[in-house]
A and B are shown apart, each in its own frame.
Chain A
């Protein structure tokens, strides 16, 4: 019997600068049986989304599907006419994109959008479609399946929206559903729930799915077959088990190596002397947005009494989900977002909250590296201008010396010297991030704040940046604050780790301690939510119990902030009292009511 979905000799081209055709997908072949999940994996630019879109006979602007055959069931997709495609797309093949938030129309209710496909293709009556949607909502483990459809997209969370988009795709009972990086924009704790819901619904309905992702660990949970892509060609294809256990291709091996957590820093640096003041010390720092009240506190508090110390030459990791205040913390330290309360000391000397009141030398000693190198480097400047500016600004050295020093710095971040004359806009993402680091190093700072420096990069490129940071740490006497949502990245380069949850430090301690037993329930949740690079992990990880929401009348500042998500909370204590800061047996400071044995 021939496969349900068959792609052979697929070729997609774009027209180049001078009208020539450039192949971006070249001779791609794969097939999937009914009910199978096939994963397309590769880094950005590998052609994985282009291939996924080609399954709907769709090519993005400027692209042409120039050769090959795609067969779904007994339909030859590429031979369909315009009118036939109208009935085919969304009906027999449907698509779930990376950003559900951008895919939903904010001015229509969710239900209207979910059943729109069914209405458009006249598949069923409105009421039948509605009841089917509700059935899908409940099988996707969405809360209140009966009523969630009446909400508008901005009223539900990102993870819920992603599942609602899956419901939208599945409403027409498609032969093939394409999931294009559906969990990449989500936090790990949300990702695991969405993955579980996707897996269940795909299995139960026997849908054939194409799962597009760059994350091998996620793919290991979802897929039956894996196709590894690079530069538009298939590098390796096979059963998931076989690809994971015995990758034959060099590139697959590199991907596996980048996905495996590794320790990049071996030994802890000891502070030179016990009496010396810490390099950076934050005491009860609070910050927020909005109107400031009589006590000097803003209306919306983002950071609540954060304390931290960074010793010279060590690295502190700050981890938490999106919205927990980790970027605000970096901006507060840098002086971009003035703290409302508390003190920030550099070498024992208090820093002004706003950067305009700091001395030039204080500014030099604290450098910040932003997440997105695309916007952090001025596209109008050359690399030499970008890296050379701090040298001229802080040291006022001559043009000749600047030129020499820029070359040294480029070598330090492992870039060729001839890149200096190029404009930043012409560089790749990884190169930009290295320039970004080189600029920070040019100031010869004492501490560098790295805000999510690897999250916008491909796995392999991101791993190389982590290696670079680890190496810079060994060679230079620079301290880092490494902010990330990725716990394995934080673990691989940091000495101390601080876990931030809704602007509060819930756990703080040495890296080794985090491996030495349970800590704060949130940390445990975070750690257990990171997918492991093996099949069956998703099934083994216990499903989360749905928790009763906490009475909203209680002032959240007076109780534990994590209470409504905590799997081990004690009713009557956690939802009535503010948690104490305890030292656990593993040596960490933990903000929790629970004695350690129970957590």
Chain B
């Protein structure tokens, strides 16, 4: 990570900051998350309430510090699940015989053709919303993309001479997948993981904005934007702050990935 410079450094700082907020946010919150503490709704910034108050007169900063946990945690979990299952399936597919590879790939193509948001809407409508369900929906929608990228990497690496040497040596497929191929696709996969994370943040925020995501009394960043939508006309900080929070989180991750991806590419060039 010594290559991280300039914009990448900004990204790194943002990502670390959001990570810390997700972990320790609730402890730092000055007020109870559900308590109505301000005398007025949609208060301005400053004074007792740093980011003003929301549509019920709750402290926006406290709600933000609590909500970040859901957005970051759920997205991280879902992206991790999507990337790792996608990569595992891709490796399995790349080292398998042709028809297995074809079947898995076509199944993934079918899955990728279903729009993620519509799928999520249908599932939430049918089963109701829960954290676990949200995590699974996000993971399933973004797994085929991760699979595609990982598979194309694995297929290329599978043709490399060192893999052929391993095959001539008589190594099993699992050894070839884990020890010969996987280490050489970790960098691009990490970059891809970051991208998936951003996608999931946006998907979950979108669902929450529609009222189908994280349900009250809990609220993630998307829910915060939704519940304060009536403050839009007054330019209330209650709606601007969570929107900015989503923006800084996704932009931060993107900046970090961009700098890592170019660093990662130079590693593969040397290879």
List residues of A whose CB falls within 8 A of some B CB. Answer: 334-336, 355, 358, 360, 363-364, 366-368, 370, 372, 374-381, 389-390, 393-394, 425-426, 439, 443
Alpha-carbon separation in the docked complex, A380 to B184 (Å): 6
Given contacts A376-B165, A425-B271, contact A381 B183 (CB under 8 A): yes
Alpha-carbon separation in the docked complex, A372 to B161 (Å): 8
Alpha-carbon separation in the docked complex, A414 to B160 (Å): 26
Alpha-carbon separation in the docked complex, A364 to B184 (Å): 26
Report B-chain residues with C-beta under 8 Å of the C-beta of A381: 183
Q: Is the CB of A358 within 8 A of B162?
A: no
Listed A/B pairs (27) with beta-carbon separation below 8 Å = A335-B168, A336-B164, A336-B167, A355-B167, A360-B170, A363-B169, A364-B170, A366-B168, A368-B168, A370-B164, A370-B165, A374-B271, A375-B161, A376-B161, A377-B162, A378-B162, A379-B270, A379-B271, A380-B184, A381-B183, A389-B169, A390-B169, A393-B169, A394-B169, A425-B271, A439-B165, A443-B169
Alpha-carbon separation in the docked complex, A334 to B271 (Å): 25
Closest to A386 in B: B162
Interface string of B176-202 (1 = CB under 8 A from A): 000010011000000000000000000
Report B-chain residues with C-beta under 8 Å of the C-beta of A376: 161-162, 165
B109 proximal to A (CB < 8 A): no
Report B-chain residues with C-beta under 8 Å of the C-beta of A368: 164-165, 168
Identify the 3 closest CB pairs spanning chains A and B, nearest first.
Answer: A379-B271, A380-B183, A363-B170
Alpha-carbon separation in the docked complex, A366 to B183 (Å): 27
Closest to A443 in B: B169
Contacts A364-B169, A378-B162 supplied; 14 other A-B pairs, CB < 8 Å? A334-B168, A336-B168, A363-B169, A364-B170, A367-B168, A368-B164, A370-B164, A374-B271, A377-B162, A378-B160, A378-B183, A379-B271, A380-B184, A426-B270
Closest to A374 in B: B271
How many chain B residues have a CB neighbour from A under 8 Å?
16
Report A-chain residues with C-beta under 8 Å of the C-beta of B271: 374, 379-380, 425
Q: Is the CB of A378 within 8 A of B184?
A: yes
B171 proximal to A (CB < 8 A): yes
Report A-chain residues with C-beta under 8 Å of the C-beta of B180: 378
Closest approach, in angstroms, between the C-beta of A364 and any C-beta of chain B? 8
Closest to A381 in B: B183
B contact patch SS: helix
Within 8 A of A (CB), among B56-83: none
Q: Is the CB of B184 within 8 A of A379?
A: yes
Q: Is the CB of A393 within 8 A of B170?
A: yes
Report B-chain residues with C-beta under 8 Å of the C-beta of A394: 169
Report A-chain residues with C-beta under 8 Å of the C-beta of B183: 378, 380-381
Closest to B164 in A: A336
Alpha-carbon separation in the docked complex, A599 to B222 (Å): 86
Report B-chain residues with C-beta under 8 Å of the C-beta of A370: 161, 164-165
Closest to B170 in A: A363
Closest approach, in angstroms, between the C-beta of B4 and any C-beta of chain A? 15
Alpha-carbon separation in the docked complex, A375 to B271 (Å): 8
Closest approach, in angstroms, between the C-beta of A400 and any C-beta of chain B? 21
Interface centre among B166, B168, B270, by most chain A C-beta atoms within 10 angstroms, is: B168
Closest to A367 in B: B168
Interface centre among A334, A367, A375, A394, by most chain B C-beta atoms within 10 angstroms, is: A375
Closest approach, in angstroms, between the C-beta of A263 and any C-beta of chain B? 31
Report B-chain residues with C-beta under 8 Å of the C-beta of A393: 169-171
Report B-chain residues with C-beta under 8 Å of the C-beta of A439: 165
Report B-chain residues with C-beta under 8 Å of the C-beta of A379: 184, 270-271
Alpha-carbon separation in the docked complex, A390 to B183 (Å): 19
Given contacts A355-B167, A360-B170, A368-B168, contact A375 B162 (CB under 8 A): yes
A358 in complex: contacting residue of B161, B170, B270, CB < 8 Å: B170
Alpha-carbon separation in the docked complex, A157 to B160 (Å): 27
A375 in complex: contacting residue of B160, B166, B167, B169, CB < 8 Å: B160
Q: Is the CB of B168 within 8 A of A425?
A: no
Report B-chain residues with C-beta under 8 Å of the C-beta of A360: 170
Report A-chain residues with C-beta under 8 Å of the C-beta of B162: 375-378
Interface centre among A355, A358, A379, by most chain B C-beta atoms within 10 angstroms, is: A379
Report A-chain residues with C-beta under 8 Å of the C-beta of B167: 336, 355
Q: Is the CB of A355 within 8 A of B168?
A: yes
Closest approach, in angstroms, between the C-beta of B185 and any C-beta of chain A? 9
Alpha-carbon separation in the docked complex, A52 to B160 (Å): 33
Alpha-carbon separation in the docked complex, A426 to B184 (Å): 15
Report A-chain residues with C-beta under 8 Å of the C-beta of B184: 378-380
Given contacts A375-B162, A378-B183, A381-B183, contact A425 B171 (CB under 8 A): no
Alpha-carbon separation in the docked complex, A378 to B183 (Å): 9
Closest approach, in angstroms, between the C-beta of A68 and any C-beta of chain B? 30
Closest approach, in angstroms, between the C-beta of B2 and any C-beta of chain A? 10
Interface string of B245-271 (1 = CB under 8 A from A): 000000000000000000000000011
Alpha-carbon separation in the docked complex, A367 to B168 (Å): 7
Closest to A366 in B: B168
Closest to B182 in A: A380
Report A-chain residues with C-beta under 8 Å of the C-beta of B165: 368, 370, 376, 439
Alpha-carbon separation in the docked complex, A366 to B165 (Å): 11
Report B-chain residues with C-beta under 8 Å of the C-beta of A358: 170
Q: Is the CB of B168 within 8 A of A363?
A: yes
Report B-chain residues with C-beta under 8 Å of the C-beta of A377: 162
Alpha-carbon separation in the docked complex, A364 to B166 (Å): 11
Closest approach, in angstroms, between the C-beta of A424 and any C-beta of chain B? 9
Report A-chain residues with C-beta under 8 Å of the C-beta of B161: 370, 372, 375-376
Alpha-carbon separation in the docked complex, A355 to B168 (Å): 7
Alpha-carbon separation in the docked complex, A363 to B167 (Å): 10
Alpha-carbon separation in the docked complex, A357 to B169 (Å): 12
Closest approach, in angstroms, between the C-beta of B138 and any C-beta of chain A? 30
Closest approach, in angstroms, between the C-beta of A571 and any C-beta of chain B? 45
Alpha-carbon separation in the docked complex, A267 to B160 (Å): 38
Alpha-carbon separation in the docked complex, A454 to B169 (Å): 22
Closest to A385 in B: B179
Given contacts A370-B164, A375-B162, A378-B162, contact A425 B270 (CB under 8 A): yes
Closest approach, in angstroms, between the C-beta of B230 and any C-beta of chain A? 54
Report A-chain residues with C-beta under 8 Å of the C-beta of B164: 336, 368, 370
Alpha-carbon separation in the docked complex, A364 to B170 (Å): 8
Alpha-carbon separation in the docked complex, A364 to B168 (Å): 9
Closest approach, in angstroms, between the C-beta of A365 and any C-beta of chain B? 11
Closest approach, in angstroms, between the C-beta of B207 and any C-beta of chain A? 39
Interface string of B144-168 (1 = CB under 8 A from A): 0000000000000000111011111
Closest to A359 in B: B170
Report A-chain residues with C-beta under 8 Å of the C-beta of B270: 379, 425-426
Report A-chain residues with C-beta under 8 Å of the C-beta of B168: 334-336, 355, 363, 366-368
Closest approach, in angstroms, between the C-beta of A378 and any C-beta of chain B? 4
Closest approach, in angstroms, between the C-beta of A393 and any C-beta of chain B? 6
Report A-chain residues with C-beta under 8 Å of the C-beta of B169: 363-364, 389-390, 393-394, 443
Alpha-carbon separation in the docked complex, A15 to B1 (Å): 21
Closest approach, in angstroms, between the C-beta of A247 and any C-beta of chain B? 35
Closest approach, in angstroms, between the C-beta of B25 and any C-beta of chain A? 37
Report A-chain residues with C-beta under 8 Å of the C-beta of B170: 355, 358, 360, 363-364, 393
Alpha-carbon separation in the docked complex, A363 to B180 (Å): 18
Interface string of B212-240 (1 = CB under 8 A from A): 00000000000000000000000000000
